[in-house]
């Protein structure tokens, strides 16, 4: 029963032989047709076209690379060509930044100083006139007689002092701070002397021998804030100065932006306590017995405006050594500064300066080395003035703008003696 039924079921679903054969042939031909389409080989023209297209693309790519290389070369040339322009702009910006810092420091110095008169505070700094030099005569409360001896010899007085500023561009002031008890008898004495002569520059500084470095820094900072000069001079009140000769000496260095002028020396660093000029920080200068670096002797030295401005801007961070001339020299170490050793700024007193004057070589400044100034200057400075001083009209006949030391019109003559 089971087998019979199964056979019957199978017979109902068997395909006819002819139909099966036709299906086989149809499948075969369909397979051949699609296989031929998939494996069709491209003709030669297609290959040539494709190859030429690839070559064109490579050629274009090479052209692009060449153009890029040319552009890079032109760019590098442009960069190198503009290097100088960039450096010039950078330098101009740097100069403007320095001027801006100086202007700010000037205004702050003037406005915070309660001793400087109100009329000076109201002056527009940008409209100040140009001066040849500002001379600060370092003095102390106890040096009234020294100041009077200077006024009686080489420093013009009264209307002549004002005329000197207006006609020759030379400003001269005694520089002094205030006492530890501000407003005391010492300060009142200076105020009375100022009303009489009008030749002081009061500094925001407490006077003291051990504070000379701080006073020097304050002087240059204050002076460059108040007066736009080419040179700033510091001189002691026991030194004789020939103003015309000093002015002519400085005009030789007008084109030098950072110049430091004086009689250069390199004395020993004194480590032993109790001696004059003892250096408490001697260990900074190496082994005991070493010498200082070259610096101008403290009786008289000169710096250009750029250096005075540098001191003004950096006054809060400049280190002070025991000796003010050493301090000043240390502030310029590491800067691009020209040191000028000029022995006309440190002649001896007669007969030294007298012989030089007779030979036509007038000294700009005279003092005694052994006394660090003119020995007994109150009594002797008149003698030095008479024997070593320049002609009394030399200062007023010398043209500091046009003349040079070698020109005939700028020749400084010896003072006529009776």
Share of the chain above pLDDT 70, in %: 67
116 in a structural domain? no
What's the predicted TM-score (pTM) here?
A: 0.71
How large is the C-alpha radius of gyration of the chain? 45
Q: Is 289 left (phi over 0), alpha (psi -120 to 50) or beta?
A: left
The dihedral built from the CA positions of residue 385, 360, 391 and 393, taken in this order, carries a sign that is: negative
Contacts of 390 (CB under 8 A, 6+ apart): 242, 243, 244, 245, 357, 362, 412, 413, 414, 415
pLDDT at res. 200: 98
385 in a structural domain? yes
377 in a structural domain? yes
Residue 255: domain span: 131-263+298-397
272 in a structural domain? no
71 in a structural domain? no
Structural domains in the chain (count): 1
312/109 Cα distance (integer angstroms):
9
Beta strands per DSSP E along 94-211: 130-138, 170-178, 200-206
In this predicted model, what pLDDT tens digit does every residue of 184-235 receive, in sequence order? 999 999 999 999 999 999 999 999 878 999 999 999 999 999 999 999 999 9
For position 362, which CATH number holds? 3.90.550
In this predicted model, what pLDDT tens digit does every residue of 54-110 receive, in sequence order? 555 555 455 555 554 555 555 555 555 566 666 665 555 556 556 556 555 555 555
pLDDT at res. 9: 42
Distinct helix (H) and strand (E) counts, the chain: 14, 9
> Within 10 A of 29 (CB to CB), how many other CB atoms are there?
10
365 in a structural domain? yes
201/136 Cα distance (integer angstroms):
8
77/364 Cα distance (integer angstroms):
55
284 in a structural domain? no
191 in a structural domain? yes
């Amino acid at each position: 029963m089971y087998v019979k039924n199964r056979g019957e079921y199978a017979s109902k679903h068997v395909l006819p032989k002819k139909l099966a054969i036709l299906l086989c042939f149809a499948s075969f031909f369909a397979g051949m047709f699609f296989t031929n389409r998939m494996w069709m080989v491209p003709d030669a023209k297609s290959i040539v076209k494709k190859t030429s297209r690839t070559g064109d693309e490579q050629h274009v790519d090479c052209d692009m690379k060449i153009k890029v290389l040319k552009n890079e070369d032109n760019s590098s040339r442009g960069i190198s060509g503009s290097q100088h322009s960039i450096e010039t702009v950078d330098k101009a910006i740097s100069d403007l930044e320095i001027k801006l810092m100086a202007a700010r420091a000037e205004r702050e110095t003037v406005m915070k100083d309660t001793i400087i008169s109100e009329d000076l505070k109201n002056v527009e700094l940008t409209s100040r006139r140009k001066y040849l030099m500002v001379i600060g005569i370092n003095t102390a409360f106890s040096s009234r007689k020294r100041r009077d001896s200077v006024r009686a010899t080489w420093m013009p007085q009264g209307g002549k002092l004002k005329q000197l500023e207006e006609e020759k561009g030379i400003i001269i002031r005694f520089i002094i701070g205030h006492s530890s008890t501000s407003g005391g008898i010492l300060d009142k004495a200076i105020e009375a002397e100022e009303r009489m002569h009008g030749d002081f520059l009061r500094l925001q500084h407490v006077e003291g021998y051990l504070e000379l470095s701080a006073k020097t820094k304050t002087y240059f900072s204050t002076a460059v804030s108040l007066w736009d000069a080419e040179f700033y001079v510091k001189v002691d009140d026991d030194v004789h100065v020939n103003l015309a000769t000093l002015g002519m000496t400085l005009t030789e260095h007008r084109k030098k932006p950072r110049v430091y002028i004086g009689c250069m020396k390199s004395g020993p660093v004194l480590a032993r306590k109790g001696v004059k000029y003892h250096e408490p920080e001697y260990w900074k200068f190496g082994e005991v017995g070493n010498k200082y670096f070259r610096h101008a002797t403290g009786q008289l030295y000169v710096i250009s405006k750029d250096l005075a401005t540098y001191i003004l801007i950096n006054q809060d961070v400049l280190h002070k050594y025991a000796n003010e001339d050493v301090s000043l020299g240390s502030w310029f170490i590491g800067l691009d500064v020209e040191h000028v050793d000029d022995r006309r700024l440190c002649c001896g007193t007669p007969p030294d300066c007298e012989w030089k004057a007779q030979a036509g070589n007038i000294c700009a400044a005279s003092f005694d080395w052994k006394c660090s100034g003119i020995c007994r200057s109150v009594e002797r400075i008149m003698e030095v003035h008479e024997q070593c001083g320049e002609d009394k009209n030399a200062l007023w006949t010398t043209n500091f703008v046009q003349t040079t030391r070698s020109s005939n019109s700028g020749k400084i003559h010896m003072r006529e003696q009776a």
